[in-house]
Amino acid sequence: LRTTLLFLSPKDLYTAPDSCEGRCREPYSPEDECHCNPECERHRNCCEDYYRHCRDGEHPRCRGAREGCSPPELSGGWGAQRGWLQARVDVRALLSLPTLWFYNSPRLYKYVNEELFSKPTYASFIKLLDNYQRATGREEDVTAEELREQDNFLREVMKTELMKKLFAFLHKKNRYGSEQEFVADLKEMWFGLYSRGDGEQDSSGFEHVFSGEVKKGKVSGFHNWIRFYLLEKQGAVNYFSHNFEGPWDTYPDVLGLQFSWDGFYKEVGSAFIGSSPEFEFGLYTLCFIARPGRACHLSLGGYSLSIQTYTWTKSTYGDGKKYIATAYVISS
């Protein structure tokens, strides 16, 4: 039995538009996350790029933005990061991107050169993936060895140019005073435990996004290509379909897909294909800090890209800081 699978648009799946690109002077709609008609200035509910798209770049002073800068300034900060966001590990020299057959292939990946996985950030990332009980509602038992693996992964990613430049950018914005403070916060926001069940410390941002969970009989999170590849190799993942036929000639490649994991179904998922752990970890971190709970629109190498993040609202750490609930690339 073969079921035809329908992929909805990112707007239908995830969020109302939060950019004014192509929306200037459109009628007000309460469904929109932000607005682009002239009245938005009076009501102070304009999208952050309203002045860039609808007022020829004219903008007022920052109005209490969390990052301490005007929206155009922050957008410019992201623009300046395009170079480092592309300064990734040379994946394509080592990775043969998948040949994808729609519906009639038992596997997503035809071939991956696993020499890639010996690189320090990959090796330390992969060691983290088996540290979790995937079922929500079951308390995580974090061992001393697993804590060391978390520290080792953070140590390795912070050696990369990408993460060093991310820290420099956030330090310039007065978000962190030192690299030590930044790393300590990364450990809390990504690896700090909270409860998705009935009080058990059963989940974390890292587990949800990169390793994947099962909640109420369905796959939740699971947005990483390396995790998918390793489980598919073991026969634990059954790939159903994807929403992109190529050509695979640009970066980043983004795939929307449907699959099952030991019989648990993922109806709509998304993942980068072929990116390094530090690329995804850094990009999700940037968007979570700068645009928590909203779509984060970026341009990488001239290609538009959107990341959605959500904060965990039921518990906090430190002085009211929020954990990562999820982060994923929006696929179209």
Q: Residue 208 catalytic?
A: yes
Neighbours of 61 (CB within 10 A): 6
Judged by phi (left if over 0) then psi (alpha if -120 to 50, else beta), residue 136 lies in: beta
Catalytic residue among 35, 215, 266, 322: 266
Count of all residues that appear for the chain in the document: 332
Q: Residue 35 catalytic?
A: no
Catalytic residue among 35, 208, 242, 322: 208
Q: Residue 223 catalytic?
A: yes
> CA–CA separation, 14 vs 330, rounded Å?
8
Catalytic residue among 35, 215, 223, 242: 223
Extract the runs of DSSP E, i.e. beta strands, from the chain: 213-215, 218-220, 237-242, 253-261, 264-273, 295-300, 303-317, 321-329
What residues does 218 pair with on adjacent strands?
215, 265
For residues 136 and 197, the answer to whether their CB atoms sit within 8 Å is: yes
Residue indicated by tokens 């804590």 = 147
Active site residues: 208, 223, 266
